[in-house]
Structure 1
Amino acid sequence: MRPVAAGYISYSALKDGTVDLCDIARMNDWIDLNADNDARIARWREANER
């Protein structure tokens, strides 16, 4: 459901088989990577505030 909630695919694509488990896994990895990058950037900005 994470790719649907993130807006990458529609729920109907998930239900009708347009995407497979590999696609979903790749999208979940991408969502995790983006969240990790955003957290790292936020920590860097906080540490480098003047």
Structure 2
Amino acid sequence: MAYQPRESPFDDGVAWARLPDGEDWLLAPVLAGMCKYESLLDGVLGLHDVALMNDALSVRADNRALAERLREN
């Protein structure tokens, strides 16, 4: 079971830009510097790896948002 983020960045009424066909999900670890794009192309990394990295990015984002809310209160 994949990590379920506490908050979706898409629930705030903003029409966030997205890549077609969910490619932003596939490329998020590349953009975060967790892997190289070539590793996705040559099969070194599979979808399970991408899913795990995306879960880690979501956990980090949730924890940062929680820490920010705690600082504000």
Instruction: Tell me the TM-score normalised to structure 2 length.
Output: 0.63
Partner of 1:25: 51
Partner of 1:3: 29
Match of 2:63 in 1: 37
Instruction: Could you tell me which runs of 5 or more consecutive residues in structure 2 were left unpaired when the two chains were aligned.
Output: 1-26
**Alignment RMSD:** 0.4
Structure 1 runs of 4+ with >4 Å offset: none
Partner residue, 1:46:
72
Q: How many residues align?
A: 47
> Higher Cα Rg: structure 1 or 2?
1
Distance 1:7 1:38 in 2: 18
Q: TM-score, normalised by structure 1?
A: 0.91
Q: Distance in 2 between matches of 1:10 and 1:16?
A: 10
Q: Deviations over 1:3-39 (max 9, x none)?
A: 0000000010111101011000000000000000000
Question: Which consecutive residues of structure 1, in runs of 5 or more, have no partner in the other structure?
Answer: none
Higher relative contact order (CA 8 A, sep 6+): 2
Identity level (%): 45
